[in-house]
Amino acid sequence: MANRVFELRTYHAALGKMAALHARFRDHTCRLLQKHGMTLLGFWVPLDPAEADKKLLYLVAYPSREAAERSWAAFRTDPEWQAVKEASERDGKIVERLESVFLGPTDYSALR
């Protein structure tokens, strides 16, 4: 696993849509991400209540950066994901913006 990489993703929910975002991850997205080879390490919300209604963060692991690119390409074109996304956004977009940072572990990291 010398080339293992991590991705920290921060979702900024549209106003009033955090419950819908949690439901989409809980009911569909997590399973679909795993289906496409992504290792989900954890999901977090800020402890500050005002921020918790706005942000969802999660950490994903991949064997390599190339594997991450392949996984995301397969996920985005998955007909089941496309149907889930469309259904979950019938009343408007639930994600205002997304931040993604790819990370490599240090030699002293517990996650390598």
Q: b or e along 56-80 (b: 16 or more beta carbons within 10 Å of the residue's beta carbon)? A: bebbbbbbeeebbeebbeebeeeee
Model pTM score:
0.92
Could you tell me the pLDDT band of residue 35, with boundaries at 50, 70 and 90? Answer: very high
Could you tell me the pLDDT band of residue 111, with boundaries at 50, 70 and 90? Answer: confident
Please determine, for residue 106, whether its predicted confidence score (pLDDT) is greater than 70: yes
- What are the domain boundaries of the chain? 5-55+66-103
- Yes or no: domain 5-55+66-103 corresponds to CATH 3.30.70.100: yes
Please determine, for residue 1, whether its predicted confidence score (pLDDT) is greater than 80: no
